[in-house]
Amino acid sequence: MTIYSNRADLSFYIKFTSTFLIFLFSYLAATSQKRISADYCISIDEMKLFKSINDLRADYDKPELKLSSSLSYVAKLHVNDLLNNHPDTSICGLSSWSENGEWRACCYNSYVLDEDCMWDKPKELTSYPYRAYELVTYFEDEYTTDSVIKLWSGTRQVIDMILTHGKYEQKKWVCFGVGINDHYVSVWFGQRADKAPAPAVCDTTYNVIETDSTVVSIDSQGSFYLVYGSFEDIADAKEALKRYIKNSFPEAGILSKDNLNRIYLGKFNNLKAAMYAKQSLPYTYREAWILKE
């Protein structure tokens, strides 16, 4: 038993305990939100871009950088946020983040600089405990990895960032991550190593996919459903199905089994295709999972 000799000792103890509990709860809350999905993977085009950037660095005698799962995950979240929620308005630039996600919203522009909100996104969203620096580009029309590298190679500010020249001369990149979709390309550079394992590639060209207990085997025969929501009442399931079909999932359907009516957003002939489709979903559908039948 602890005996306090005066009120000052008791006051100090209370303040210390309160501070420690606040720190502990904040730490637990932060770490619980920083887990990357176990089936996270990058696309073949993202892997091509990663290799092309390292090839570009090699042309200038720069060392090869490691592929970061954490930074790739942040890059993917950002390009999908840009595509689906358009935080890049006439006022806010491409480095902005919307309010429609589990992150702090940022309106980044040259008048009101909130660089920490942008640079700290890896710390905010993953277990990567350091800040990182983003290169992000918008393409109105279709593009390829080659066209991206060609554009960046001819832009002084961009090439300086990739090669750590100019205002980036004091930086020393160790790793980077990539994320792309139909119109946006994002690359995040970090100065510290990422302790998370490198991501697998989830396209059919590569046979390096990791999986979980939901599916038996990559090569298993059968159908793979991208499931989002289950209902006991078939009427409720049908109402939900109407909403999903209306919201850009025309191939959605209902899978009834074991007294449950599951809504699936897509049906696929192999696991790789299902995982790639899951990875390409908007952030609001992040709870979707793969069911093998």
Task: State residue 114's pLDDT score.
Answer: 74
pLDDT tens digits along 3-30: 334 444 445 444 444 444 444 444 444 4
The 175-180 sheet, strands edge to edge = 66-67, 175-180, 184-190, 133-138
- Segment 177-199 mean pLDDT: 95
Highest mean pLDDT among 118-122, 187-191, 235-239: 187-191
Q: Which DSSP string do the residues of 196-229 spell out, in sequence order?
A: SPPPEE-STT-------TTSS-TT--S-EEEEEE
Paired with 42 in beta bridges are 201
Highest mean pLDDT among 106-120, 128-142, 251-265: 128-142
Distance of alpha carbon 266 from alpha carbon 227, whole angstroms? 8
Cα dihedral 120, 124, 130, 136 sign: negative
Domains and CATH numbers, the chain: 41-201 (3.40.33.10), 224-292 (3.30.70)
Task: State residue 212's pLDDT score.
Answer: 32
State the average pLDDT for the chain: 81
In degrees and rounded to multiples of 5, residue 238 shows phi and psi of: -65, -40
Task: State residue 112's pLDDT score.
Answer: 64
DSSP 247: T
Side-chain half-sphere exposure of 194, counting CA atoms within 13 A:
29
Please answer whether residues 129 and 123 qualify as being in contact, where contact means their C-beta atoms are separated by less than 8 angstroms.
yes
41-42 and 200-201 beta bridge pairing: parallel
